[in-house]
Amino acid sequence: MNISVEYKDTTGAIFNQTHRLTRLAFAKHLAIAGQGYAPCPQKLFRTLGMFLHYSYYLQRQAFYNNHFSRPPRALSDPTEQGQFSTLAGKAIADFLSKRINQSLHTTNYEAVASKPLRGQRPDLVAFTQTSQFTLEAKGRHQTNPGNMTKHKAQAASGNYPRNFSIASVSYNLFGQVTCKYHDPFNDNIQYDNEMLQKITKKYYAGLAQFLNRNYFDYQEFYFQGEEFYEVELSYRKFEKLFIDNSPYRYIGHFEVFDFFRPKLILPKNINEYAENGITNTTRPFLFDIKNQDENTYIDNDRVGLRIKQ
């Protein structure tokens, strides 16, 4: 999918850009964007369940014609269509924060709030090597972005310090996916490395639980100049993580595993990240999305997915 993006930078200049989003990249951002918990093995079903539930919106022919597919039931169920639009808007905002701003990590706003939340707040907080910023992420099936001034006000709300606040509004999702990605800048804040370390320790500690040969097979591999682990996600092995009467044990559609043979990609030094977190001295991994096949995707945080070649 090629997303047409109107990017307004910190000086107010507007640039028209195109960013290519693969289905694998969308799946990663759809599942992880804005989650305030550590993504441990037991929560893998959330990722799989979400992808399967919304698979009708991700039909290949539509996706690679730059829009999502609208299943017949969505026409009579505006609630489901609205839920998908919201999640898609958040996933695209998270993806663009990595491609445009080269953010290292994103989390939901609630994870960093120091005071009880009242009133408006943005959806996401992102950290780059030089700044921290908030995002208000919208997804709309309508052919217009709505009131950008209102979206910008919500992006700037809340009390967490930020260098800038972005309103990312993806619209015309079922026609020609387009996004307005607008931000201003504020120099007068101190970078919060302590918070970045705190939230990323939890993030990587949860993912490090996949390196357990009792439930998963994994191997090392080299990709774009760095070392990673490739973890086999075979449900036949990790289903024993769940007690016999767990409702998640019988989620169904497990044939997807056999067909796609999905693998989770983790950084080789994940245990170091789990112990210490990352800081703004950590260099983001910049995946060369233009020159790689569509069966592999690695995000700036060095977490990715791979499916059968």
User: Mean pLDDT across the stretch 97-102?
Assistant: 94
Residue 257 has pLDDT above 70, yes or no: no
Given this model, what pLDDT does residue 100 score? 95
Q: CB under 8 Å to 49, separation ≥6 — which residues? A: 251
For tokens 């357990």, the residue is 212
Given this model, what pLDDT does residue 250 score? 44
Question: pLDDT tens, 197-235?
Answer: 999 999 999 999 999 988 889 999 999 999 999 998 765
Residue 161 has pLDDT above 60, yes or no: yes
Q: Does residue 55 sit in helix, strand or coil?
A: helix
Look at residues 88, 89, 171 and name the one whose alpha carbon lies nearest to residue 137. Answer: 89
User: For residue 47, which amino acid is it?
Assistant: T
The distance from CA 176 to its chain's CA centroid, rounded to whole angstroms, is 21
- Residues 165, 10 contacting (CB under 8 angstroms): no
User: Mean pLDDT across the stretch 109-118?
Assistant: 73
Residue 177 has pLDDT above 70, yes or no: yes
Could you tell me the pLDDT band of residue 176, with boundaries at 50, 70 and 90?
very high
Given this model, what pLDDT does residue 11 score? 80
Share of the chain above pLDDT 70, in %: 81
Mean pLDDT over all residues of the chain? 85
**Backbone angle region of 66, left / alpha / beta, with phi > 0 → left and psi within -120 to 50 → alpha:** left
In the chain, where the domains are located: 2-192, 194-306
Given this model, what pLDDT does residue 109 score? 87
Look at residues 193, 194, 196, 169 and name the one whose alpha carbon lies nearest to residue 183. Answer: 169
Residue 239 has pLDDT above 70, yes or no: no
Look at residues 22, 175, 29, 16 and name the one whose alpha carbon lies nearest to residue 89. Answer: 29
Could you tell me the pLDDT band of residue 247, with boundaries at 50, 70 and 90?
very low
What is the total residue count of the chain?
309
Question: pLDDT tens, 278-298?
Answer: 999 999 999 986 666 678 999
DSSP letter string, 241-294 = GS-TT-GGGG---THHHHHH--EEEEETTHHHHHHH---TTSPPP---TTSS-T
3-state helix, strand, coil in the chain (%, to 5): 35, 20, 45
Residue 246 has pLDDT above 80, yes or no: no
**What span, in angstroms and rounded, lies between the C-alpha atoms of 254 and 252?**
5
